[in-house]
Chain A
């Protein structure tokens, strides 16, 4: 076991103060890890992840405003995460399947030691967290996304889906358009499409997801080519398959 010269930086995220204190005390037994921040909710966790750049996060799942999985989707995937939960059979199954470490409350010091060792390995190998697989597996199936979370530096914007006009794919990013403003989010468009309510959002083009409430009309643009015109006048390209889908939905 090689001792790192600099202790690894750890952030503890839990909405319960007693639980945070407990983890901090347990970590005191491991001098190669240093607690740099304690966060009492997910927003703080995202800010701390951006500003303090911890190597490791001990992340509670059940928290107000943003839960642990939502935090995971918003932070740098190179931050190693050990999930902490009192009781969540569904999430635990997802952890087992994806070989992600988790701790059950109350925390067993021996389990904590093992998880820290594996986290150290993950950090050394620069192995990113399997964010996509985890968020997909941990979510209850059949419940469409009610809000889109977008990180802007250390800040998190919560965009309720009913307020979204359309979503546009730009290279590796998605631009989520809300009332004339666009928010960038790093996620494949197909993945977001699958999480949204298919009765509300339609893939009208390879690069566009449209909120059906916003559609005003469809116009013939050139021979065999159509565009969708939104209520605010925005014009979006419509692929042939997209047109077909729209006709079925409307």
Chain B
């Protein structure tokens, strides 16, 4: 397919050269064809090669002068070489008796050939730029689709993480019990639940949120679990105000708090304390989520999925600058996140 195209272009260019040599000059048709055919193919090859200067000086960069100078000089040099090649062919023909004088006849048309060659070279450059532009546009489109798919994927996972079915149904069960025992407490819990769900929907739609917001979400979540677990759950929060404006992806900590409840408190008959700590030292923010756990069951598959999710999102946003460390003691489970302090931009806040 592609070879056919090259062949056709070569033949076409050959015919053009032959036409130029024969129609308005002294060259007989057969001689014109013999010189024109190789020259046509050669010009095709030069046109193809024009791709390289076109790639090395992209249109958007480097300025018009540089682009023009590059292609003008390339056109002049390669076309000069091309005309020289034509002269050599003509000289070779000259030696045959039936084509005597071919060289001299060729030279009368050389300047015209040169001009046509330069024009065709520049045409080829233009075509190459068009192809490059099309390719870039297609690549950008593919990349855009990929990015959208990834973002949607993360969003879905976050959405699933934020509304753990156990959490939802157990909370509703608590509300159901409270309605007859203590209507005021039931109503309070409904409000807390509604507040938490609303807040997670809002935060989930954003790319980055201040750490303070995320910690607020975790606080709300744990307040609801406190109703369900009663005295079994106590929460200790030590938040350094200096890190609240650090921007993080939403639901960075919530899955960790959920794990702390599900694999820690819920597995302990007497319960225990979940500790949340966030502090900043210079350019580094450290967040700790710690929970007690049942030493007898500490070997289980435990925190796997939620933690993996958190780790993956940290990596995606901060790369090697962020870490998630796990200290898994038989009776205590602690996740420590370290991430760069990236404060909320003032401009964004006033907007």
* Residue A126, interface by CB 8 Å: no
Report whether A106 and B266 are in contact in the complex, using a CB–CB cutoff of 8 Å.
no
CB neighbours of B168 from chain A (8 A): 87
A105 contacts which of B169, B230, B266, B294 (Cβ < 8 Å)? B169
* A234 shortest CB reach to chain B, Å: 27
Report whether A87 and B268 are in contact in the complex, using a CB–CB cutoff of 8 Å.
no
CB neighbours of B166 from chain A (8 A): 62, 86-87
Report whether A86 and B173 are in contact in the complex, using a CB–CB cutoff of 8 Å.
yes
Report whether B181 and A21 are in contact in the complex, using a CB–CB cutoff of 8 Å.
yes
* Residue B351, interface by CB 8 Å: no
Which B-chain residue is minimally distant from A14 (CB atoms)? B173
* Count of chain A residues with a beta carbon within 8 Å of a chain B beta carbon: 23
* Count of chain B residues with a beta carbon within 8 Å of a chain A beta carbon: 27
Report whether A15 and B227 are in contact in the complex, using a CB–CB cutoff of 8 Å.
no
Among B126-179, those with CB < 8 Å from A are: 165-166, 168-170, 172-178
CB neighbours of A246 from chain B (8 A): none
* Residue A98, interface by CB 8 Å: no
Report whether B178 and A18 are in contact in the complex, using a CB–CB cutoff of 8 Å.
yes
Interface string of A29-60 (1 = CB under 8 A from B): 00000000000110000000000000000000
Interface string of B203-234 (1 = CB under 8 A from A): 00000000000000000000000011110000
Which B-chain residue is minimally distant from A17 (CB atoms)? B230
* Residue B63, interface by CB 8 Å: no
Query: CA A64 – CA B178 in complex, angstroms?
Result: 23
A-to-B contact residues, CB < 8 Å: 15-19, 21-22, 25, 40-41, 62, 64-65, 86-87, 104-107, 143, 146-147, 158
B-to-A contact residues, CB < 8 Å: 165-166, 168-170, 172-178, 180-181, 227-230, 266-269, 294, 296-297, 299, 301
User: Can you list 17 pairs linking A and B with CB atoms under 8 Å apart?
Assistant: A15-B269, A16-B228, A18-B174, A18-B177, A18-B178, A19-B170, A21-B177, A22-B173, A22-B177, A62-B166, A64-B294, A86-B165, A87-B169, A106-B169, A107-B173, A107-B176, A158-B296
